[in-house]
Structure 1
Amino acid sequence: MEEKRIQAQYLVTSIPDDVPQIILENDALLIKNKSDEDITIPFSSIDSIKILPVNRIYNPSVGLLKDGFKGFMAHRNSGQFSIYFNYFVDLNIYTNTGNYFFESLDLENASKFILKLNDSFKVEDDVSLIDLFKTKSINEIKDYMDKHYKDLAKTYNLENPRTTLDESMVRLAKNLAG
């Protein structure tokens, strides 16, 4: 597998969807990729698994703000000139035959998957995401990340934000984030 990050749904059980999926089995991880054959990674071949948070600019759109000016709007920050960030989980799997890098498609399924995975295989978690997943709701985790992601990004050298948007949008997001 190529060493680039793939966005995938992290799942405890498979779903009938055509998105890339990482499924937790009894003694392995199953990677279902819509364009390739399924890949099974037995826990016995895994050297380590590491998780880290990532933030992305989420559905920014131009619209009219409360004061009538055009700007970026999203439901969490509507009515303010701001950019909405959403949080995901990077999953880095290091094996004796190659490395696999994933980014979750959502935080809720990712948190359930990571908690279950950590029961079967010790997950490296420098940022203490597992503790957050155990003790906080998804909304509480998002609020926590809104307040602390900037410091976590500096401490753990995380992208802030990770994006595929054009340079002007990236500059605006970095100014707002930091």
Structure 2
Amino acid sequence: MDTAGRATAELSYRDATEADVEALVPLIESAYRGDASRAGWTTEADILQGRRTDPEGVRAVITTPGSKLLTVLRDGVLVACCQLEHRGDAAYFGMFAVSPALQGAGLGKQIIAEAERLVRAEWGVREMHMTVISLREELIAFYERRGYRRTGKMSPFPYGDERFGVPQRDDLAFELLVKELR
């Protein structure tokens, strides 16, 4: 269901609560890190080790004003999530995780479309922003097919801060991707 309680295809959507943290952390970890992430195509396991997030990080997204973690359920089972943050005329899209076993089946496209619809309706924003590790060409290409454009604006990877993982390379940086919402 979307935030108005309407069913959307086979998926339902709702804002995460603190009671969801225990289920969300392993979902996010499984999509990005470790051997479980290799079942999907969005893994960062070859460039980052360690944790992707922790309960405190997920709780902060849920409880910070102007921020939400949208949960995605299929037949009542948590299968995906994404962070949405209101930033003036734009929204930030992050912490996007789809269960690795379900990746490549079109869920990501549906979830992104719902997230874009939601931020336009709730916050009236004109753009969606996200940052992606610039080396992730296949992932960037996925977002480009969804209408996001590379800006060339880079921000440094937070080396030394293990809350973001343990880098396996010394050339990591984030690139800002932007999509105009209509």
TM norm. shorter chain > 0.5: no
Q: Who wins on radius of gyration, i.e. which is larger? A: 1
Normalised TM-score (structure 1)? 0.29
